[in-house]
Amino acid sequence: MEDSSIPTATQNALTTLEWIGRKENLVVSGPSGTGKSHFTEGLAHAAIENDLRVAWFTLETLESTLARTKIDGSMAKTVARICRADLIVIDDVGLLPVAADAAEAFYRIIDAAYERRSIAVTSNIHPSGFDTIMPKTIATAGIDRLMHHAHFVQTQGDSHRLAEALAGRGVVPLT
């Protein structure tokens, strides 16, 4: 927590998990390697330790999960199953190009969870730029719902991973 660019007060407020009980969302945005996924993973673990259900996806795994349902027509059932989780995490939005099916999956989960469940999204792109990686109509509608009841956290700084590697702490020398 001490090396994080996320203010301690913000970290402490979010780790109470009260926002999940209120069905609010969390969006963590910032450069690669600044602790977005690490922080969100810690919150997810805390939620599990407090007997909350958590579903964790990257945008790509969410898309592949819902793509399989198009074959047998079970999309609504699968979306409902995912939305039984108290916290739905969608990690690394914007890291890779977003295909139309991935954008649709992202929207379907946000829409189904809206005001019913909490969603945490991590992205190296600010949510206002999601329309640069997915169709504008889907991005606009999805972000409108996601951000309506959301805590927004912006990380900053250089990559922790790169800093460790450059300081020689990235690997153990082979002998």
- 43 within some domain: yes
pLDDT of residue 70: 83
- 175 within some domain: no
pLDDT of residue 174: 73
Q: What is the pLDDT of residues 150-165, one digit of tens each?
A: 999 999 977 666 666 6
How is residue 34 written in tokens? Answer: 């600044």
The CATH number for 103's domain is 3.40.50.300
pLDDT of residue 1: 46
What pTM did the predictor assign? 0.89
**Which stretches of the chain drop beneath a pLDDT of 50?**
1
- 110 within some domain: yes
- 166 within some domain: no
pLDDT of residue 165: 67
Residues 82, 167: Cα–Cα separation, whole Å: 41
- How many domains are contained in the chain? 1
Give the residues across from 89 on adjacent strands.
56, 120
**Could you tell me where the DSSP H helices lie in 4-159?**
8-15, 18-21, 36-49, 59-72, 75-82, 100-113, 136-148
- 2 within some domain: no
Nearest to 79 by CA among 113, 128, 120: 113
Residue 174 burial (10 A CB sphere; 0-12, 13-18, 19+): exposed
Separation of first and last alpha carbons in the chain: 34
Q: What is the pLDDT of residues 128-137, one digit of tens each?
A: 999 999 999 9
For 53, the domain range is 15-155
Whether 143 and 127 have beta carbons less than 8 Å apart is answered as yes
**8-state DSSP, 28:** E
pLDDT of residue 166: 61
- 49 within some domain: yes
- 106 within some domain: yes
Nearest to 142 by CA among 96, 174, 175, 98: 98
